[in-house]
Amino acid sequence: MGKFQDLGITLVDIDVSEDKPAGTRTSGRTVVKPKDRKERGRSELKHRKRPAKEKKDLLSAVRERSDLEFGAVTDPVKMYLKEMGMVTLLSREGEIEIAKKIEVGERDVLRAMLDCPIALNTIFLYGKKMERRAMRPKHVLRDVDEGDGVVDEVSKQEKFLESLEMIKQIHEANQDRRDQIYGMRKSLKKYQTLTQEIHDGTERIFEELKRWRFESNVMDTIERSIRNTIVWFNTVDKLLESCAKTFNVMKDTMIKQSSDPEKFVEWATARTDLTEEKAWCFTRTFRRS
């Protein structure tokens, strides 16, 4: 009884025997009559809201505890550390696999660079610096460690310089073949033979150089030299085209005429109003290019 009174509910006994028809059974059940429906509705609503509030407090406590453990979401450093902690570290096998892939990639880059003779010229410059002791081997080769003694460092330098001497001979032979195929028709059998010999010589150079792993600064210097040379050739090509327009001829025609400086001066002065002095300036420009 006390609990119902606390809720504002009064229990009333109702006799329904008078309202029931004859032959029906009566019951002594009690009927709940609310004292005030509005008050009861407010009470029930209050009890319904209580679990949601408790749930909100619980989530807030969990969030605060998470912020203390992992850092607030707005802190980028703590978020970075949290994300790093979720990444598994590499195993020994994984590190070996990545190292092999890096080495294969470096060899592919070196092989591609060797198709350009400028790459070897840059490597030869490093060899000359090592020979004059202007640069230590550890600044060029990765196989030379800081902990190696003087004897080991000198020994590796001598072996590397010996490799360069053999590479120079192959490179000079390739350069002679390149001079031979210049201006030669590609359909000729001799052109195909010389091209194959150049390819075989480059492969021999690559097999000799891949025993040595170059430092990243050496590879960057080779790449920079190749890029600068490409820019230089493009600039010279535009200059030659501009000169050819002066004589109102094609660039190749002008280059053929410039093979003999004296004949070129006569040819240039006859086609244009250039003086002999300016024509000779053109020939010096062609020689430099």
Taking the C-alpha atoms of residue 182 and residue 198, their distance in angstroms, rounded to an integer, is 13
Note whether 238 and 262 are within 8 A (CB). no
Q: pLDDT-based confidence at 85, cuts 50/70/90?
A: confident
Residue 62 has pLDDT above 80, yes or no: no
Residue 22 has pLDDT above 50, yes or no: no
Alpha helices per DSSP H over 71-141: 76-85, 92-114, 117-131
**pLDDT digit string (tens) for 130-139?**
888 888 888 8
Give the pLDDT score at 23.
Answer: 45
Give the pLDDT score at 196.
Answer: 94
Among candidates 239, 269, 273, which has minimal Cα distance to 257? 269
- Among left, alpha and beta (phi > 0; psi -120 to 50; other), residue 71 is left
Q: What is the mean pLDDT of residues 118-124?
A: 92
**pLDDT digit string (tens) for 236-260?**
888 888 888 877 888 888 877 777 8
Q: What is the mean pLDDT of residues 138-151?
A: 73
Give the pLDDT score at 30.
Answer: 47
Close Cβ partners of 141 (under 8 Å, ≥ 6 residues apart):
156, 160, 212, 213, 214, 215
Residue 35 has pLDDT above 60, yes or no: no
Give the pLDDT score at 54.
Answer: 56
Give the pLDDT score at 120.
Answer: 92
Which amino acid, residue 192?
A: Q
Among 41-55, 105-119, 131-145, 210-224, the range scoring the smallest mean pLDDT is 41-55
Residue that is written with structure tokens 């009559």 in the block: 33
Residue 235 has pLDDT above 70, yes or no: yes
Give the pLDDT score at 20.
Answer: 45
Q: pLDDT exceeding 90 applies to what percent of the chain?
A: 24
- Which pair of tokens denotes residue 114? 């060797």
Query: 34: which strand partners?
Result: 9
Backbone angles phi, psi at 260, to 5 degrees: -115, 110
Note whether 264 and 274 are within 8 A (CB). no
Q: pLDDT-based confidence at 31, cuts 50/70/90?
A: very low
167 compared with 288, residue with greater pLDDT: 167
Among candidates 111, 122, 108, which has minimal Cα distance to 220? 122
Q: pLDDT-based confidence at 17, cuts 50/70/90?
A: very low
Residue 88 has pLDDT above 60, yes or no: yes
Q: What global pTM score does this model have? A: 0.59
Residue 71 has pLDDT above 50, yes or no: no
Residue 146 has pLDDT above 50, yes or no: yes
Residue that is written with structure tokens 């109003």 in the block: 273
Within 10 angstroms of residue 113's Cβ, the number of other Cβ atoms is: 20
**pLDDT digit string (tens) for 170-225?**
999 999 999 999 878 888 899 999 999 999 999 999 999 988 888 888 999 999 99
Give the pLDDT score at 186.
Answer: 86
Mean per-residue pLDDT over the chain, rounded? 77
Taking the C-alpha atoms of residue 200 and residue 189, their distance in angstroms, rounded to an integer, is 17
